[in-house]
């Protein structure tokens, strides 16, 4: 069992790392961190002494004053080192740095100096440090106008705004879950690595990313059609886009019914990818689900009976409630990292059709049970 603490636990990368570690309770124990610890030496010391591994992600990315960014980021590292020295602790410390280290800006300099300070501490104290040089990270729940241009584009395209490209350069990218998986692999490997270059998993021009996202808006956001996703990057980008949609405002979406003397025909989903379709019957009062996925795309379509579909994003208490009625067939799509369920709240049998983008694999189900 490895005790892992994450400064910046509630941030973009930190929250994904925290939640992913929680999927492996037999391997990792998460030591909770709060940003207020940096202002309370006693609490910071308790945190440091409890950790076998510290992943230092807390940092300031953007501010109107570059000097403030520099002083803040270096100051956080100084406080962490002071705590390590006060407590005579030697956890394996990971520090997130950036490929901007070599650029002539104060943010890059702050990340480089912070990494170098921790490496010096480690080498003086026979400890381990891994300096993560990370390319541009994107993924679900990133903060628009702060974490990445992809977060900004996704937010704008789902909130009636028009994205603008200021510099159409080619960017090295990594999906946040791929980064988290790499960090966990390095935690297990447990080697002193003053510089560990995290390799990008994709490379794209800014305009090419925007074109894909614009297609997702036209097909998925406006029509409910799952687009063609030709590679892992496009799947990751699509799931990132979906995370910025206001699900409470969008769902449930009604199907178009084509009715004549024979009965009714309803198209459940139009898609550019395959997947698995299935249906279930549920007796009154029964709830199905209470699980979440980290990569799968899933649609619940109610065609008979009355249902309550509930969603709750990880790390939040807010439950989204959607009431669906087979008299007006409709559907709700499940975003990643939202636990979800469906309950028969009517007096008759509930019939639900499910579509998911990949067949169920017992060896890699990507299904984690958690009560809504």
Query: How many structural domains compose the chain?
Result: 2
CATH code of 321's domain: 2.60.120.10
The domain in which residue 319 lies consists of 247-369
CATH code of 69's domain: 3.40.50.720
Give CA 77 to chain center in angstroms.
25
With beta carbons less than 8 A apart as the criterion, state whether 73 and 100 touch: no
Q: For residues 155 and 290, what is the distance between their CA atoms, to the nearest angstrom?
A: 28
- Mean per-residue pLDDT, 109-136: 92
**Can you give the pLDDT at residue 66?**
79
Using the 3D structure, point to which of 119, 134, 149 is the last residue of a domain.
134
Q: Under 8 Å CB-to-CB from 221, ≥6 apart: which residues?
A: 157, 158, 245
251 and 130 within one domain: no
Mean per-residue pLDDT of the chain: 93
Question: Is 262 domain-assigned?
Answer: yes
Using the 3D structure, point to which of 134, 166, 186 is the last residue of a domain.
134
Question: Is 174 domain-assigned?
Answer: no
**Can you give the pLDDT at residue 282?**
94
Checking if the pLDDT of 260 tops 90, the result is no
Question: Is 149 domain-assigned?
Answer: no
Q: Record the pTM.
A: 0.88
In the chain, the percentage of residues whose pLDDT exceeds 90 is 80
Q: For residues 257 and 157, what is the distance between their CA atoms, to the nearest angstrom?
A: 28
Structure confidence by residue, pLDDT tens digits, 331-353? 999 999 999 999 999 999 999 99
6 and 128 within one domain: yes
Question: Is 324 domain-assigned?
Answer: yes
- Mean per-residue pLDDT, 29-44: 96
Question: Is 211 domain-assigned?
Answer: no
């Amino acid at each position: 069992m490895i005790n892992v603490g994450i400064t910046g636990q509630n941030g973009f990368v930190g929250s994904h790392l925290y939640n992913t570690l929680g999927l492996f309770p037999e391997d990792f124990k998460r030591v909770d961190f709060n940003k207020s610890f940096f202002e309370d030496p006693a609490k910071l010391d308790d945190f440091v002494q409890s950790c076998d591994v510290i992943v230092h992600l807390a940092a300031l990315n953007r501010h109107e004053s570059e000097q403030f960014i520099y002083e803040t980021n270096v100051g956080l590292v100084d406080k962490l080192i002071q705590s390590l020295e006060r407590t005579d602790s030697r956890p394996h410390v990971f520090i997130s740095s950036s490929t901007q280290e070599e650029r002539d800006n104060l943010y890059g300099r702050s990340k480089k100096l912070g990494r170098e300070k921790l490496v010096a501490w480690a080498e003086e104290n026979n400890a381990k440090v891994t300096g993560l040089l990370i390319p541009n990270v994107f993924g679900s729940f990133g903060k628009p106008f702060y974490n990445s241009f992809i977060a900004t584009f996704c937010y704008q395209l789902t909130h009636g705004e028009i994205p603008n490209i200021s510099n159409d350069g080619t960017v090295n990218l990594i999906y946040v879950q791929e980064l988290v998986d790499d960090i966990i692999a390095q935690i297990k490997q447990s080697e002193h690595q003053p510089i560990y270059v995290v390799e990008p998993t994709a490379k794209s021009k800014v305009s090419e990313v925007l074109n894909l996202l614009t297609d997702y808006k036209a097909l998925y956001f406006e029509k409910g059609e799952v687009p063609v996703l030709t590679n892992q990057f496009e799947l990751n980008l699509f799931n990132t886009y979906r995370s910025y949609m206001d699900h409470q405002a969008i769902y449930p979406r009604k199907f178009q019914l084509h009715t004549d003397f024979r009965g009714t025909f309803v198209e459940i989903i139009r898609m550019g990818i395959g997947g698995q379709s299935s249906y279930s019957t549920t007796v009154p009062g029964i709830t199905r689900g209470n699980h979440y996925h980290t990569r799968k795309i899933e649609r619940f379509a109610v065609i008979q009976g009355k249902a309550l579909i509930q969603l709750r994003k990880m790390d939040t208490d807010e439950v989204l409630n959607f009431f669906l009625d087979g008299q007006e067939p409709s559907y709700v799509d499940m975003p990643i990292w939202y636990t979800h369920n469906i309950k028969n709240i009517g007096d008759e049998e509930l019939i639900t059709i499910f579509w998911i983008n990949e067949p169920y694999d017992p060896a890699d189900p990507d299904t984690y049970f958690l009560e809504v």
